[in-house]
Structure 1
Amino acid sequence: MIDVRTLTKTYAGKRVVDDVSFHIPPGGVVSLIGPNGAGKSTLLSMMSRLLTMDSGQVLIDGLDISRTDSPTLARRLAVLRQENHFVSRLTVRDLVSFGRYPHSRGRLGADDLAKVQEALEFLDLADLSDRFLDQLSGGQRQRAYVAMVLCQDTDYLFLDEPLNNLDMRHAVAMMRLIRRIADEFRRTVVLVIHDINFASAYSDRILAMKDGRLVHDGPPDHIMTPGVLEDIFDIPVHVEQVRGQAVGVYYR
């Protein structure tokens, strides 16, 4: 259970996150959407404790993240940053093994090795496990980072733009994997995403931000309407529907 209470962040006198509050129950996929500069990544960074908040509070299963020690928090929450600076001579298996550090402190036991192998197989990386990261395609490398956070074996995964630099085929594959992580591992996944069609197809809930504020919150059917989307993005849209459900958004 995640409780976000009146989070704010100000840069140069401008509130980039402005008094944002919401509650996320366990399980499922929650997408943060909104135009560039809406405050999505800043909000997720504060929720991840990667960025200090000016005011407010984030509770994860009742633990105040500002007061919880790092080892304890790392066993509850795994984070995939938007930008990852990798060491080219690191193998896929080595990278994924980093996810076990909160549990093993660098001394991998049998249970840790089993978790690493499980993550490699789930992300279809077993055959690439001995490859160096600079020998992978962009899609394969992104899967390796997701395998690392999955291997951390936390109840909560925060993913900041996991579709970054992925083409359509790899983006679809990634969203399917994220959906399976939530369903098969019973994880709570919160992600920042720009493609609202992907958000609609794979999310249980969508939080929409604009100008630092949370302006809409609900299931995809609530968000994927012309009135709501035009309010979020300030442009005319057409929502294609089949049997009353949104299947695509087109900008006019």
Structure 2
Amino acid sequence: MITLSDVRKDYSSEVVIGPVDLTIPAGGITALIGPNGAGKSTLLTMIGRLLGLDSGTIEIAGYDVTSTASKDLAKIVSVLRQENHFITRLTVRQLVAFGRFPYSKGRLTAVDEELVSQAIDFLELADLEDRYLDQLSGGQRQRAYVAMVLCQDTEFVLLDEPLNNLDMRHSVQMMKHLRRAAAELGRTIVVVLHDINFASHYADYICAVKDGKVAEFGTCESIMTEPVLTRVFDTPVQVIDGPNGALAVYY
């Protein structure tokens, strides 16, 4: 599991994240949702040690994120930020292979190559593995980055807005891939999402963040209620019964 205890990040006297106390269960998908500027991405990057804490502790599977050696932490948790500054002369396979760096240090073994192939196949990229990243669509490129993260073979996977700039069809495909990764590969996936309905349909738990704090945490059923969503998003929300569960409608 992932445990945050009294976590705080001070940007200024007016902008503060925390204090946050949160336990994210192992297994399945936990979605971080909330208004723009609520602190979702900041929480995720602090969990992944891409941003330091001003106070508090974060533990992943019992390892203190602050004090654990980078080489060891990289075998426990992998992170995909929303800013993917890719190098155009990398092929899909070369990009995915970067996920093996914590183990191979750049010298891929036969086992590494097999894991790269498995990640490429899992994200349905086999036909594109020799294509350069700048030759791909946004959705294809996003799948390649997720394949790289899965190839790192960590139990915990942190994804910051993986649906960013994807259309509806590619967003659905991406969430189905993540659902499969959680179910078939046994990964614990924490994902920042803007669409509450994607969160409710594909996640196991939802963490609603507002004003730098955890406003609500629980199962999708407990979060997908009109009082909770109206309070979190500061706008009237109606929850209706859809064909595959609750749907939030804004008005």
TM bin, normalised by shorter chain, reads over 0.9
How many pairs were matched up? 251
Please say if residues 58 and 64 of structure 1, whose CA atoms lie closer than 8 Å, have aligned partners that are also in contact.
yes
Residue 18 (structure 1) aligns with:
18
Please say if residues 16 and 38 of structure 1, whose CA atoms lie closer than 8 Å, have aligned partners that are also in contact.
no
Residue 137 (structure 2) aligns with:
137
Please say if residues 201 and 245 of structure 2, whose CA atoms lie closer than 8 Å, have aligned partners that are also in contact.
no
Report Cα offsets for 1:174-214 as digits up to 9, x if no partner.
Answer: 00001000000001000110000000000000000110110
| CA apart distance, 1:11 | 1.0
Residue 250 (structure 2) aligns with:
251
Residue 219 (structure 1) aligns with:
219
CA distance in 1, matches of 2:244, 2:62: 39
> What are the residue-to-residue correspondences of 1:1-252 with 2, within 5 Å?
1-242=1-242, 245-246=245-246, 248-252=247-251
CA distance in 2, matches of 1:53, 1:244: 39
Please say if residues 96 and 147 of structure 1, whose CA atoms lie closer than 8 Å, have aligned partners that are also in contact.
yes
Q: Could you tell me the TM-score, scaled by structure 1's length?
A: 0.97
Please say if residues 9 and 17 of structure 1, whose CA atoms lie closer than 8 Å, have aligned partners that are also in contact.
yes
Report Cα offsets for 1:87-141 as digits up to 9, x if no partner.
Answer: 0011000000000000111110011000000000000001100000000000000
Unaligned runs of at least 5 residues, structure 1: none
RMSD: 1.2
Q: Which AA in structure 1 matches 2:33?
A: I
- List 4+ stretches of structure 1 deviating above 6 A: none
* 19-28 vs 85-94, which moves further: 19-28
SS of aligned partner of 2:95: helix
Q: Which AA in structure 1 matches 2:230?
A: E
Please say if residues 75 and 154 of structure 1, whose CA atoms lie closer than 8 Å, have aligned partners that are also in contact.
yes
**Identical-residue share of aligned pairs (%):** 57
Q: Could you tell me the TM-score, scaled by structure 2's length?
A: 0.98
| CA apart distance, 1:17 | 1.2
CA distance in 1, matches of 2:45, 2:244: 36
CA distance in 1, matches of 2:149, 2:14: 33
CA distance in 2, matches of 1:165, 1:70: 31
SS of aligned partner of 1:159: strand
CA distance in 2, matches of 1:42, 1:244: 31
CA distance in 1, matches of 2:184, 2:226: 33
Please say if residues 3 and 59 of structure 2, whose CA atoms lie closer than 8 Å, have aligned partners that are also in contact.
yes
Q: Which AA in structure 2 matches 1:7?
A: V
SS of aligned partner of 1:94: helix
| CA apart distance, 1:16 | 3.1
Please say if residues 201 and 244 of structure 2, whose CA atoms lie closer than 8 Å, have aligned partners that are also in contact.
no
| CA apart distance, 1:250 | 1.1
Please say if residues 19 and 213 of structure 1, whose CA atoms lie closer than 8 Å, have aligned partners that are also in contact.
yes
Unaligned runs of at least 5 residues, structure 2: none
CA distance in 2, matches of 1:234, 1:13: 23
Please say if residues 8 and 15 of structure 1, whose CA atoms lie closer than 8 Å, have aligned partners that are also in contact.
no
Report Cα offsets for 1:205-247 as digits up to 9, x if no partner.
Answer: 000011011010111111111100000001011111159941x
* 116-125 vs 23-32, which moves further: 23-32
| CA apart distance, 1:143 | 0.0
CA distance in 1, matches of 2:101, 2:242: 47
